[in-house]
A and B are shown apart, each in its own frame.
Chain A
């Protein structure tokens, strides 16, 4: 599986990663190598095999709908790079 530079650029955008040109070229080679290796899985006939998502499956683990204390606001905001008025502060995302 040979990824193109365009493929890698698209993946980086989807993953929200800023990469330099040199990094894109390096990842193009390395990811292609790993995907080549993964092609080994094509040797297997998997048509009637169900998927496994967890080692031990549990379904719909429910709890009672009860209000419980959560972290104090000052603890929640303690690690924030920027904050204002008890909220996380970010750049504006909507145009004026």
Chain B
């Protein structure tokens, strides 16, 4: 049996039945990473010794009767989430060799659940990007076509899960950074409602939009990881103090009578015909399974991208003010303290600098009302669009990205064309809804296409169940 081909849920059963030990599984995964990740470059750091120690501990816990939900299951973590004792770089030279003194909330939850941490996955620098090419370290390749990007910014996590280099992985989604790479890599990716998961210990990009998300090869796998990391934490005052439902039990596959909205604004010019065809076929499948299909309108969709590219950079310019070479990270000495800060901050890559500049401008005296202030008002309109829609439908179905995975290097020098990759995902981040990507076929180049399912505030169980119903009805 090649254990690396098992799904997370299959592995969990095998571990429960003691057919295999966590040490064996972890070693098999680490061997596979050594053999295959040279080509994919999904990991920035492989924490092999710690992983094997955690696996041995999981096996001891198992022997004592412990049956924690992810006991002994090897997973990967996006390198923007702090892991105590394991380098965490956010894909940036400005955090080269940074070793966090504490674990993020989600890492604490993973450890409590008994998961084994294989390592840290590649990301666009500070999660700013849609292709993972903005990493200061390596270019991750799409496992389906190595000349193409895996999407981003959580491209390392998506590629690792797609290439069987982890059973599941954590990412973050500020404008689509879980759903879009999930779509490009043919895996399942969930971006929960803002506040569903504590952001404590997640390196901040845009604090009002950032949220941790989960990747799995199947809907059940993605859900199993989400089940463990969801929750309130008083160290993040924006996390929601509401109970965590049993998401795994909600995967019944029954969607009879469910109202599915199809927003006409999401099938716009610029969508590849093959993407539209696959998504429309998936929606027809939902109807076949008993769902009611309604055409709906989210009238302000086209304003989401310009609003986002003012709000997110504005928040980023403030959040990234902390990188000054004083308390952590490298320091580049200058002629005085201010110059030292300026020289040190030149370690930021081009996209991060671009967004800091844009955000600084949008917030600066004389321009605040014209740019940032207007964008916040547009955010209200976008949020209200979803509110109105969810009075009529239970779930919204749409494409994840207008295209399938593009070629490495194709868009790096044209920021606006790169930003367009997120045009259909970032409305969710601006609103109070949740979203996911589930594979719904391939284009003629053999590249995966994703179906986006969007749910109302805290309706993760609903969208996961719709994805599950679709997946069960279409898997061979």
Residues of chain A touching chain B, judged by Cβ–Cβ distance below 8 Å, are 3, 7-8, 11-12, 14-19, 23, 27, 30-31, 33-35, 37-42, 44, 46, 49-56, 58, 61, 63, 71, 75-76, 78-82, 88, 90-93
Interface residues of B (CB under 8 A from A): 97-99, 101-102, 193-195, 208-209, 234, 237-238, 240, 300, 302-303, 305-307, 309-310, 317, 321, 324-331, 333-334, 336-343, 345-346, 348, 353-354, 356-358, 360-361, 364, 371, 373-381, 383, 415-416, 429-432, 457
Determine the chain B residues whose CB is within 8 A of the CB of A39 once the complex forms.
306
In the complex, number of A-B residue pairs with CB atoms less than 8 Å apart: 164
Check A55/B430 contact, CB under 8 A, given A79-B98, A81-B329, A81-B330. Answer: yes
Q: List 26 A-B contacts (CB under 8 A).
A: A12-B357, A16-B321, A16-B338, A17-B346, A18-B342, A18-B343, A37-B306, A38-B310, A46-B378, A49-B378, A51-B376, A53-B376, A54-B238, A55-B193, A55-B209, A55-B383, A55-B429, A55-B431, A56-B240, A61-B237, A78-B99, A79-B99, A79-B327, A81-B329, A88-B326, A90-B337
Across the two chains, which residue of chain A brings its CB closest to B382?
A52
A11-B101 in contact given A40-B303, A80-B328 (Cβ < 8 Å): no
Sorted from nearest, which 3 A-B pairs have the closest CB atoms?
Answer: A51-B376, A79-B328, A75-B101
Task: Indicate whether A55 sits within 8 Å of B101 (C-beta atoms), given known contacts A38-B310, A46-B374, A90-B326.
Answer: no
- Interchain CB contact under 8 A, A11 and B357: yes
- For A41, give its contact among B303, B334, B354 (CB under 8 Å): B303
Q: Are B345 and A52 in contact (CB under 8 A)?
A: no
- Contacts A17-B348, A52-B379 given; does A91 touch B303 at CB 8 Å: no
**B325 to chain A: which residues have CB within 8 Å?**
81
Most buried by B among A31, A34, A41: A34
Q: Determine the main DSSP class of A at the interface with B.
A: loop
Q: Is the CB of A14 within 8 A of B329?
A: no
Return A15 CB to nearest CB of chain B, in Å.
4
Min distance, Cβ B429 to any Cβ of chain A, angstroms: 8
Establish whether residues B195 and A88, one from each chain, have CB atoms under 8 Å apart when the complex forms.
no
**Which chain B residues lie closer than 8 Å to A93 at the CB level?**
336-337
With A18-B343, A55-B195 already in contact, the answer to whether A37 and B416 are too (CB < 8 A) is yes
Across the interface, which residues of B come within 8 angstroms of A61, CB to CB? Answer: 237
Q: How far is the CB of A61 from chain B (nearest CB, A)?
A: 4
Partner of B101, one of A16, A52, A71: A71
- Quote the shortest CB–CB distance from B281 to chain A (angstroms): 31
Q: A12-B357, A38-B306, A79-B99 are in contact. List 5 more A-B contacts (CB 8 A).
A: A16-B341, A17-B353, A17-B356, A31-B361, A78-B99
For the complex, what is the distance from the CA of A7 to the CA of B366, rounded to whole Å?
Answer: 13
Contact of B194 among A51, A55, A88 (CB under 8 A): A55
The answer to whether B309 and A41 have CB atoms under 8 Å apart is no
Cβ contact within 8 Å between A18 and B345: yes
Chain A min CB distance to B328 (Å): 4
Q: Which of A18, A27, A88, A91 contacts B327 (CB 8 A)?
A: A88
Give complex CA distance A43, B334 in Å: 45
A91 to B344, CA, bound (A): 14
Give CA–CA (A63, B237) in the complex, Å: 10
Q: Which of B310, B373, B416 contacts A51 (CB 8 A)?
A: B373
CB pair A33 B416 closer than 8 Å: yes
Given contacts A44-B303, A49-B377, contact A31 B354 (CB under 8 A): yes
Find out whether the CB atom of A50 lies under 8 angstroms from the CB atom of B377: yes
**Which one of B193, B309, B337, B342 contacts A17 once the chains associate, using CB atoms below 8 Å?**
B342
Q: Known A14-B364, A16-B338, A37-B306; judge A78-B101 contact (CB<8 A).
A: yes
What chain B residues lie within 8 Å of A18 (beta carbons)? 334, 339, 342-343, 345-346
Given A11-B364, A44-B303, the answer on whether A71 and B102 have CB atoms closer than 8 Å is yes
State the Cβ distance, A30 to closest chain B Cβ, in Å. 6
